[in-house]
Amino acid sequence: DFGYPQATSTEVLKSYISNQPCNVTYDKPLQRQPGKTLPSHAANKPIATSVESMRTQKNEIFVDLLERLTILVAPTGNILRSHLDGCIQMRNFLGGQPEIRMGLNEDLVIGRAERRHGYGTVVLDDCNFHESANLENFEKERSLSIMAPGGEFTLMNYRVSGEFLNSIPFTATTTVEDGDVPKSLRVCVRLKCQVPSKTHATNVVVRIPVPKATVSSSHEPLGPGQTSELKIPDKCYLWKIKKIHGGEEIILILRLNLSDMTKMAKKEVNAISMDFEIPMYICSGIYIESGTLNERRFCQMCPLLNTLMY
């Protein structure tokens, strides 16, 4: 056969393969260990709650609308690209797992195609909901219901791209010039808060990228409630503002000292990023119009205390 296989059936090979049996001895006899796990249906059993704890429990539910913005702004201040990711976050401390009904603004439209027909002022690109949400009336009335699980969970996620109903909270412009001493750069960041004057932003953190060759920095005097810090390992400069009111404009002027001045040094001071908190201000325009509890499903022994935070 010149080394070529003639058959590949395992039945033919069995007659040529044999195993020699051997005795196995154990030092100690095996003993059956008692089971340490519960049956699988134990996970579906309800958690026992005493009547006394249900009477004294403070029943609350917190609802938060959170949005994360990604905006690309040209040096002239024009918006080149904008994107928004939002969610409705809930923290449920109600007993008895009641049914929660929530209504959103009626002018809400899902899908950019509907905007071309001139209907709706709040347009979402797409959205998704919690697996337990009942959406029977969402298309007609923009309302939904859910048997809210205990603890924290996300009721709805949504996405918006392009123009927003409300203006973006901040505009920031950055200019980079050669410093007054060799191997240095002068960076000027102008930050303006565009929310209404009655509103304010808190815990504002501005991250400014710095060149890789940065060794130290200095800045002109800052206003009250402002601090700054150079993070050499992260190659960024942090500018922190405790509070800024709507319509207010502040400026940061700093000097970066470099170990070596290269042609790419100025370009390394590129897009800045920000973290901030603005209560009662939503760029997308979505809002919670109503929120109720179905008391028939709620434990009648407990006083109902519904705290809704928006």
Tens digit of pLDDT for each residue in 117-145? 455 578 899 999 999 899 998 988 899 99
Can you give the residue range of the structural domain that contains 182?
Answer: 170-277
The whole-number average pLDDT for the span 36-63 is: 56
**Amino acid present at 307:** T
Q: Is the pLDDT of residue 289 over 60?
A: yes
Write down the pTM of the prediction: 0.67
Answer yes or no: do 69 and 121 share one domain.
Answer: yes
More confident residue, 106 or 252: 252
Query: Two tokens at 153?
Result: 């969970």
The verdict on residue 2 lying in a domain is: no
**pLDDT value at residue 97:** 75
The whole-chain average pLDDT of the chain stands at 80
57 pLDDT band, cuts 50/70/90, is low
The verdict on residue 189 lying in a domain is: yes
The verdict on residue 28 lying in a domain is: no
The verdict on residue 126 lying in a domain is: yes
Answer yes or no: do 235 and 209 share one domain.
Answer: yes
Residue given tokens 């195609």 in the structure block: 113
**pLDDT value at residue 217:** 94
Through-space distance between the first and last CA atoms of the chain, rounded to whole angstroms: 83
The verdict on residue 38 lying in a domain is: no
More confident residue, 234 or 119: 234
Which residues lie closer than 8 Å to 191 by C-beta, 6 or more apart? 170, 171, 172, 206, 241, 244, 249, 250, 251, 252
Q: Is the pLDDT of residue 62 over 80?
A: yes
53 pLDDT band, cuts 50/70/90, is low
Q: Is the pLDDT of residue 288 over 50?
A: yes
The verdict on residue 19 lying in a domain is: no
**pLDDT value at residue 259:** 93
Q: Is the pLDDT of residue 85 over 90?
A: yes
The whole-number average pLDDT for the span 241-268 is: 93
Number of domains in the chain: 2
Q: What are residue 183's phi and psi, to 5 degrees?
A: 55, 50
The verdict on residue 80 lying in a domain is: yes
Q: Is the pLDDT of residue 84 over 60?
A: yes
Answer yes or no: do 125 and 213 share one domain.
Answer: no
Query: Dihedral, CA atoms, 270, 216, 240, 180, nearest 10 degrees?
Result: -70
Answer yes or no: do 100 and 183 share one domain.
Answer: no
Q: Residue 133: enclosing H or E segment and its boundaries?
A: strand 133-134
Q: What is the CATH number of the domain that holds 203?
A: 2.60.40.1170
The verdict on residue 288 lying in a domain is: yes
Most confident of 22-36, 50-64, 205-219, 279-293: 205-219
